[in-house]
Structure 1
C-alpha cells in the first residue's frame, strides 16, 4: 500500500507540524515534545490533558479545543506517548488547580501516564486520571478495568471538558468523568485491515468474506472471526451485546455514536444507525443526540463501532455545554442536542411495488400466447415490466461495465429507475391508452434516477409518447415513430451524436433498423433493432468518450464498451423477447 508520506520515521513529527500549522489560530506545538497545546486554554481551572498513540486521527489532537482538552500528548503510531511527553505537555497547561488525564485503558498508556503523573506530583502538581474502558467485547463486566478504550473516549473527553469549564475542583471533575466513563459502552467490527507507515504488510489479515467482531483499534484480536453479514444483522448483534452488558431498558436516554474506523463511508454509518435507532425505539430508549463520524480511527481500517452513552440529568447538563475544535463541536450553535418530540409528518407510503430482486432473472408474464403483432396497452404494460425486471437483474453486469471507465453507478441508477417504473406500471392494470403506459414509465424513471441517466433514459419512453392521441394499441410502424421522437429529444437534450460513446451509439442504429423493418411486423422489427443496438455497443469500444466521467480518460477509454449503450441494447432485447414470447 502506498501512503502519502516522506520518511516513515518522521510521520508523527511531520503530521503534527502540518496539523498545528493548519490550525495555528487555535494551537501551538510544545517546543520539545509531541504535545498539542490549546492557545486559549482554561485559566484558574482544572486542566484536562488527553493522549495516546497517533494514527487514530482526529483522536487525540483533534479533541483539543474550547470546552474540550487543554492539550494532547501524542505518541508514535499506535504507541503510547512516553512519560516525558506526558509530563512536559501537562506541565505546560497546569493552572495550579490540578490536571486530569483521560486516556484509553491500554498497558502502555497506563504505565506511561502513571509515570508522567509521578513526575508531576514530584513537582507539586496535583493529578488524577480516568482510564476509558468502554469496549464491551474485550473483557467481561466483572473484569471491566481490563477492557480497552475505543470510540467511547469521545463522550468522556466531552463531559470531562465541560466539568473543567464549570470550575469544579479536581475531585469533582474526576467524579463526573468517571461517571461518564461508566455509562459509555462500545463494540466494534473490522472489515478490512490497516497498514502502518513504512511497514510492508497490513497489521492483520482478513479473508474476502471475513470480519473480525470486537476488534480493537490497533488490530488486537476480536472475540470472533466470522463471515461477512449484512449491515442490519451486524448492527442488531452489536446492539444486543451492549444491551445485555449494560441492562439498558425502557425509559432511558442515550447519545449514539456510529464511528468509522478509517475507510468506512458516512453512507455505511448512516445505514447502521438506521437499524440501531429502530432497535432503540422498539426497546423504548430515547435517543438524545447522534453522531455519524470518524473520530477514533485506525489508519485506513475498514469497519465501524457503535457507542451508547447513557444519560441522566447531570450528565446531560455537561453534554449540552458548548465546545469547539476543528473536528468536533457541540452546543448552542450546532444544535447538537435535541428534544425527543419527533415531528412525524404524514407522508405518502414509499412507492415500492412488488420489486424484483437484483439476482432474480425476469419472468415472462403475458395475457396472450404466441407472437404479438400489435401492442395493446396491457401488452405494453407487461412488456415494460418484463424489461424492468431484466435490467434490474443485470445491475451487477452494468455496474461492472461502468466501473471500467465511469464511476460505477450506472447499474444502480438503472435498477433504481426501473424499480420505480415497475411499481408504477403494476398499479396501471386496466389502463386503455398505450401511450399513457410508456409516458408513466418514463416519468417514473426521470423523477427517480437522478444524474444524466434519469433524464436520458426517462426520455426513451416518455418523449416519444407525449403529445400523442390516445390509442388502444400501436403497430410496429407507430412504435418506430415513437422511438424516433425519443431519439430526437435525447439528442437535443444531451447533444450527443453517434461516435461520442454514449447510449446514442446503440439507440440511433436501433431506431434506423426499426424504421427499415417496420413493414415486417413487430417481431422482425425488434429483432433488427436488437441486433443493431448490439452492434452499436460493440462500436463504442472503438470510440473516445466525449461525455460523462469517461471523457477525461481520452484514448484510455478505447477498448471499453459504454454502459448506457449496453442498457439500450438490453431494453431492445427485452422488447424482442417479450414480443416473441
Structure 2
C-alpha cells in the first residue's frame, strides 16, 4: 500500500504532530518533549479534560481538543496506548486544582496505562477520574459491556464532557454527565477494506473485494458476520436494526446521529448512508435532533463506515448543543441543529429519491403504428426512458473503457427526470410539447456535456414548432434534422470525432432517404444507421472529452454517446413496431 511517509517511519507520530501543531500553533502548544499538546485558550478554574489513545485514528483524538472540548491530548504510537509518563505530564500541564477527567476508548493497553497515570497524578495530590468509552455494541454482549471497545462514540462523549467542564460544573457532576453520555451511546461499524500501518507491507486484515464485515473494530478486530457486498440501504438496514434493538429505541425518542468514515470512504457515500438511515428512523418515528456526517475516527485508509446513535434527554442535549471549536470539529450558533425550523416553516415530508413509480406502457392500437398521437408520444418517451435506465450498467461499462465512467449514471438520471415530468402530462395534447418537456428535464438535471447534448436531442427539434396533436414520419425526420444541427452548432463535433454525432448524423440521413416510407420504415433505417455509426466509432480516435487524451489507445472502443443514440432510436422503433 502506497503511503506518503518519510524514510524513517519510527518518527511518524512526531512528524505528524509537528505538522499539526505548526499549522495550528495559534490554538495549541506542545507539552515538553512529549507527543502531547494542550489548548492555549481554555477557561480558568475548571475541571480539566484529558483525552488520548493510539495515533493513526485521526482526527481522533487530536482533532477534539479546543474550546468547549478537551484541554489536552496524549498521543500514543500508531494503534498503541500512550505510556503512563506521557499521560501524567499531559494531565499535570492542564490541572487547575479542580480535578482531571480522562476519557479514552476501552482497550486493554489504554486501560492499563491510564490507570497507572492516574496513580501518578493522585500521588501528586491531583483529583482524577476516568470514563472508558465502550460504545461498540458488536464487540461483546451487553452483560460484558465493560469488555466492549470504544470507537466513534468517543466523539459525542468528549463533546458533552468538554461542555460540562466549560460550564463550570463541579468534578463529580462532570464525571456523572460524561458517564451518562457514554451509557446512552452505541456504535456499529462495517469494514469494506483493510488499513495498513506505517512500515507494514501487509494490511491489518484480509477481506475479499466482494465481501464486507459487520462489527469489525478499528484495528481489524473480528466483527460479528462477514457477508457479500450489498447496496447501501441493505447494509444500513442491518446496522440500524442492531442499534435499534440494542438501545431499545422507540417512537418519539430523540437522538443525535454520527455517520463516520473509517478512512477511505468518500463523503458522497457517507451522505447516502445517512440518507438511508434517516429514512428508516423517520419511518419508526425516531427523531434526529442533530447529525454529523464525515470522517471522525479512522484506521489509516480502512474502507467502510460506522453509525453512532446517542439517545438524548434535555441535559445531554444542552451539552451536545453547546458551542465548541477545533480545526476538525465545531458547533455553535451558526451551525444550529437538525430540527431547527424558521418561524412559520413546516418540515418538508420525507422524499424517497430512489422510488420510481411503475407505469404500464400502453399504445393506441395493436400492431404497427403509422402515426404518433400525443398519448403514444408520451408513452414512447416513457418506454425509452425505462430502456435507458435499464441500460445504465451497459453504458457505464462502455464509458469506463475510455471515458469518465459516468455516462450511464448521467443518462439514467436525466431519463428519470424526464420520466417524472412526463408522468404528470397525461392530458397534454401537443405531441411536440412532450418532446420539449422531456428534453428540458434532461437538460436541467444531467449536467456535463451529455445534459446539453442529449437534452437538445429531444428539445431542439421540438422547440418553436407549431402545436400538433399527431406526429407522422416526416415530422420526426424534420425534428431530428433540427436537433442534429443544434447539437453540432453547440458541440462542434463532426462524423469521425468519436461522439454521439457519429450515430445521429447517419441516422438522420437514413431518415431523410426514407421520408416517403412508413413511420416504421423510417425508424428501422435510422436504427440501423445509428448502429453502424456506433460500430464505426471503434475505428476513430477521439476529438472531445477524456478519451481525447488517449489518442490511439481509444481505437477499438465504441463511444458511449453514440451507443445511447442507437438505444434511443431502437426504443422508438420497438414502440412503433409493438415489439
Which residue matches 1:494?
491
Q: CA deviation at 1:290?
A: 1.1
Which residue matches 1:360?
none
Structure 1, residues 22-64: CA drift from partner, whole Å, max 9, x if none? 2222223334222132222343322211111112111110111
> In structure 2, how many angstroms separate the alpha carbons of the residues matched to 1:141 and 1:321?
31
> In structure 2, how many angstroms separate the alpha carbons of the residues matched to 1:4 and 1:88?
31
Q: CA deviation at 1:355?
A: 4.2
Which residue matches 1:343?
346
Structure 1, residues 312-354: CA drift from partner, whole Å, max 9, x if none? 2222222222110111111223224644897235899989764
Q: CA deviation at 1:133?
A: 0.7
- 1:6 equivalenced with 2:9 (yes/no): no
Which residue matches 1:173?
174
SS across alignment from 1:518: coil
Which residue matches 2:164?
163
**Equivalent residues of 1:540, 1:560 under 8 A apart:** yes
**Equivalent residues of 1:364, 1:386 under 8 A apart:** yes
> In structure 2, how many angstroms separate the alpha carbons of the residues matched to 1:70 and 1:126?
16
> In structure 2, how many angstroms separate the alpha carbons of the residues matched to 1:332 and 1:425?
43
- 1:567 equivalenced with 2:564 (yes/no): yes
> In structure 1, how many angstroms separate the alpha carbons of the residues matched to 2:435 and 2:499?
22
Change (3 A) 1:421 1:355: farther
SS across alignment from 1:519: coil
**Equivalent residues of 1:259, 1:304 under 8 A apart:** yes
Structure 1, residues 140-162: CA drift from partner, whole Å, max 9, x if none? 22221111101110111011111
**Equivalent residues of 2:192, 2:209 under 8 A apart:** no
Structure 1, residues 221-257: CA drift from partner, whole Å, max 9, x if none? 1122233343333333323332332333344322111
> In structure 1, how many angstroms separate the alpha carbons of the residues matched to 2:501 and 2:38?
60
> In structure 2, how many angstroms separate the alpha carbons of the residues matched to 1:19 and 1:148?
27
**Equivalent residues of 1:320, 1:331 under 8 A apart:** yes
- 1:525 equivalenced with 2:522 (yes/no): yes
> In structure 2, how many angstroms separate the alpha carbons of the residues matched to 1:352 and 1:250?
24
- 1:214 equivalenced with 2:215 (yes/no): yes
> In structure 2, how many angstroms separate the alpha carbons of the residues matched to 1:337 and 1:519?
62
**Equivalent residues of 2:258, 2:293 under 8 A apart:** yes
**Equivalent residues of 1:352, 1:420 under 8 A apart:** no
- 1:152 equivalenced with 2:153 (yes/no): yes
Structure 1, residues 276-331: CA drift from partner, whole Å, max 9, x if none? 33443444433221111211122222222221212222222222221101111112
Aligned-residue RMSD, C-alpha: 2.8
**Equivalent residues of 1:352, 1:423 under 8 A apart:** no
Which residue matches 2:409?
412
Please say which of residues 122-131 and 426-435 is displaced more in the overlay: 426-435
Segments of 4+ in structure 1 off by > 6 A?
346-353
Change (3 A) 1:350 1:207: closer
Which residue matches 1:359?
none
SS across alignment from 1:41: coil
**Equivalent residues of 2:35, 2:74 under 8 A apart:** yes
Q: CA deviation at 1:180?
A: 1.3
> In structure 2, how many angstroms separate the alpha carbons of the residues matched to 1:59 and 1:33?
18
Please say which of residues 163-172 and 453-462 is displaced more in the overlay: 163-172
**Equivalent residues of 1:193, 1:219 under 8 A apart:** yes
Change (3 A) 1:46 1:409: same
Please say which of residues 58-67 and 133-142 is displaced more in the overlay: 133-142
Q: CA deviation at 1:448?
A: 3.2
Q: CA deviation at 1:382?
A: 3.5
Which residue matches 2:480?
483
> In structure 2, how many angstroms separate the alpha carbons of the residues matched to 1:140 and 1:40?
41
> In structure 2, how many angstroms separate the alpha carbons of the residues matched to 1:261 and 1:380?
49
Structure 1, residues 109-135: CA drift from partner, whole Å, max 9, x if none? 111111222233333333221100111
Change (3 A) 1:182 1:348: closer
Which residue matches 2:198?
197
> In structure 1, how many angstroms separate the alpha carbons of the residues matched to 2:381 and 2:281?
41
TM-score, normalising length: structure 1: 0.90
> In structure 1, how many angstroms separate the alpha carbons of the residues matched to 2:178 and 2:191?
28
- 1:285 equivalenced with 2:282 (yes/no): no
Change (3 A) 1:315 1:111: same
**Equivalent residues of 2:288, 2:338 under 8 A apart:** no
Change (3 A) 1:39 1:538: farther
> In structure 2, how many angstroms separate the alpha carbons of the residues matched to 1:498 and 1:24?
60
Q: CA deviation at 1:101?
A: 1.0
Which residue matches 1:24?
25
Please say which of residues 566-575 and 418-427 is displaced more in the overlay: 418-427
> In structure 1, how many angstroms separate the alpha carbons of the residues matched to 2:349 and 2:273?
25
What pairs up with 1:225-240 in 2 under 5 angstroms?
A: 225-240=226-241
> In structure 2, how many angstroms separate the alpha carbons of the residues matched to 1:326 and 1:350?
34
Gaps of 5+ in 1: 357-362
**Equivalent residues of 1:287, 1:340 under 8 A apart:** no
Change (3 A) 1:324 1:555: farther
Change (3 A) 1:333 1:492: same
- 1:74 equivalenced with 2:75 (yes/no): yes
Say how many residue pairs are matched: 575
Change (3 A) 1:78 1:347: closer
SS across alignment from 2:461: helix
Gaps of 5+ in 2: none
SS across alignment from 1:308: strand
> In structure 2, how many angstroms separate the alpha carbons of the residues matched to 1:355 and 1:481?
32
Structure 1, residues 396-419: CA drift from partner, whole Å, max 9, x if none? 011112223333221122112223
Change (3 A) 1:80 1:557: farther
Q: CA deviation at 1:430?
A: 6.2
Which residue matches 2:450?
453
> In structure 1, how many angstroms separate the alpha carbons of the residues matched to 2:506 and 2:458?
17
SS across alignment from 1:211: strand
2:502 aligns with one of 505, 512, 515: 505
